[in-house]
Amino acid sequence: MKKLTTVQWVATGFVVITAGTLALGLAMQTPGHQHAGHADHAAHANHEDHTGHDHDLAAAFSAETQEYTCSMHPTFRSTDPNDRCPICGMELIPVSGGRGGEGPTEIEFSGRALALLGVQTEPVRRGDAEQVIRLSGQLEFDERALTSISAWTGGRIERLYVNYTGAYVEAGARLVELYSPELFVAQQELLQATRQANQDAPAFLRDSQATTLRAARERLRLLGLSNEQIDAVITRGEARDRITIHAPTAGLVVTRNVSQGDYVNTGDVIVELADEQRMWALFEVFERDLGAIQVGQYLEFSVQGQREMLHGEVISIAPRIDPERRTRTVRVALEVGEQALSAGGFTRAEVHITQSDKLTIPTSAALLTGRRAVVYVALGEGRFAPRTVELGQRFGDRFEVIDGLEEGDTIVSRGAFRIDSELQLQGRPSMMSPEGEHAGGHDQGHDHGHGHDAHAQHNDHGAHEMAAMDELAVTGDFSQVDLSAVTDAYMGMWEALHSDDLSAWQSSAEIFFAALDATQWPAASEAVYELLATGKGHAHHIGNINTARDQFFAHSQGMIALAEAGVLPNTIYLMYCPMVRRGQGAHWLQPSSGLLNPYFGASMLRCGDELERFEEQSS
């Protein structure tokens, strides 16, 4: 008999142990017949316990897997409610907060979801609406209170008593001493006529002598001497070749045209005086706002460095429109009083125009997409539905409603964009997708990246909005117009704003306006030029970067119109962010595809999407 090796012994033992274990397991799992009923009951009870446990796990799992998304970039998902969108930095909203309503465009939210969304509502109002037109200008001396002191005779300036601009002189103060040979001869004639008139002479000669004396006095008066000075010459009995010119009124010396030793001719202006208590405020008013300004109207305005508001009356409106700025100058007269005002000071005015019986909604309630505007109507019990409306004029922070709403309708005044985003997520009709489509956000699952498909879809939304915008008609022959300097300066403003650098924006804006002036614009491009020239001449007065961004919005509209017309020289990218301007959205141009938001700067630098690329135009 063969001896078994160690390996064979181990293998045989393993087989035996495995077979025994299997047999024991089968015996334990096969209950006896007499205990079958009891075993089945126990198994059923055990199944019920597990079912209840499974429900608890499902609820817990559902709570744990609650997803949150960004209302601006719905492709981003997170399970952390305190997380923020990595693209724009916005707070997240719950994905599962909305439920479909009865209609295809209705949406319903729970009370908790509404609280998280921060939705606010208010009724549509009818009543008085106030339109505010903001004007900018500067202070100047009242031209009606300017006094020019000129030379009444030719001569040489022997002495200049007021030798600098800005000096204040009292009425009757000495201004200059003038040497004049003509004046010397006229004084001698006066003295000769006086001696003859004082001599005894026949009656027929006395009349002639009196006439000669009156003529001599009149000649001196025409040469600038007052009656007191003429009497002083007669009393003195001596002719002098110098005369002192005095100030006829008090005022500031605003112009000095001569220096000591200069020769002047008859009629040359020596100095000019201005009454510092009488000033004008000159405002530039665009064509579209001229109907709100009338002669005799009173305006309230402010001046930098002054706490008190000033008031004045419109005394004139320039008869012609400035061909470069497309504005007319409005003159407002004011009495200075105790305020320390300076000519050239920057001033702002607000013209308030009240119109009655207007149906209005808050501007924050309207989601604007060019010609379309969408508001969300509250239907009650957490249900909302979008409604397309036609808007009219803007009255401050409210829009006039022409059609689509009735007085008393309850609309969403805050949070409408988030409600619209939830409809997009559900692939239902919304502002951005009027026909409704499958939302790219759901297709992404837990993809935390900015997926290519969803990104392209978002760009399609922006392109749809751009196509719906009111287009500016760019006409005229631009074939010989070089817009390189204008484009470069615009990009300088964009770079300064996305860097939050107000000083750099001011410098770029000055260059931008100078480039506008240096460009020969076609005659039919007034509307575009008016937008590009917004704020022209006042960039250095802007002390708030938000004001600079408001002007950049107008500049961008003009530049986009030029880009669409194909007259810009460089390859340029069209960008869009629907969050700026209180949710109204805004477009801009930039030289590269890496989005940098000039309206938010560092706070939301990457917010927005690329809509279109304008290729470089060949010369």
State pLDDT tens for residues 538-586: 888 788 898 899 999 999 998 998 888 888 888 899 999 988 887 788 9
Among residues 149, 224, 210, which one has the least CA distance to residue 182?
Answer: 224
Domain boundaries, the chain: 6-26+35-63, 121-142+275-414, 149-267, 471-614
Q: Between vectors from CA 314 to CA 312 and to CA 320, what angle results, nearest 5°? A: 145
Nearest residue to 377 via CA among 330, 313, 348, 420? 420
Question: How many Å apart are CA 371 and CA 267, to the nearest integer?
Answer: 63
Is the pLDDT at 230 greater than 60? The verdict is: yes
Taking the C-alpha atoms of residue 527 and residue 112, their distance in angstroms, rounded to an integer, is: 49
Q: Could you tell me whether strands 168-169 and 251-256 are parallel, antiparallel, or unpaired per DSSP bridges?
A: antiparallel
pLDDT of residue 610: 87
pLDDT over 90 at 589, yes or no: yes
6, pLDDT greater than 80: no
Where does the pLDDT of residue 468 fall: very low under 50, low under 70, confident under 90, or very high at 90 and above? Answer: very low
261 vs 15, higher pLDDT: 261
Q: How confident is the model at residue 435 (pLDDT cuts 50, 70, 90)?
A: low
Q: Which residue has the higher pLDDT, 466 or 407?
A: 407
Is the confidence at residue 275, as pLDDT, over 50? Answer: yes
Count of beta carbons in the 10 Å neighbourhood of residue 503: 9
The identity of residue 573, as a single letter, is: Y
Task: List Cα–Cα distances, 484 to 489, 491, 497, 571, in angstroms.
Answer: 9, 11, 20, 12
Strand partners, 148: 272
pLDDT band of residue 8 (cuts 50, 70, 90) is low
Strand-pair partners of 246: 174
- Mean pLDDT of all residues belonging to the chain: 77
431, 457, 425: which is closest to 369 by C-alpha?
Answer: 431
pLDDT for 313 equals: 87
Residue 420 pLDDT exceeds 50: yes
User: CATH 3.40.30.10: does it fit domain 121-142+275-414?
Assistant: no
Give the pLDDT confidence of 157-213 residue by residue, as tens digits: 889 898 888 889 998 888 888 888 888 888 888 888 888 888 877 777 777 888 888
DSSP secondary structure letter of residue 230? H
User: What percent of the chain has pLDDT above 70?
Assistant: 76
Least confident span in 3-7, 51-55, 485-489 = 51-55
pLDDT at 134: 81
In whole angstroms, give the CA distance from residue 186 to residue 225.
11
- Collapsed DSSP state (helix, strand, coil) of residue 199: coil
85 SS3 class: coil
Query: Band of the pLDDT at 456, cuts 50, 70, 90?
Result: very low
Task: Look at residue 79 and tell me whether its pLDDT is greater than 50.
Answer: yes
Question: Which whole number is the average pLDDT over 226-252?
Answer: 85
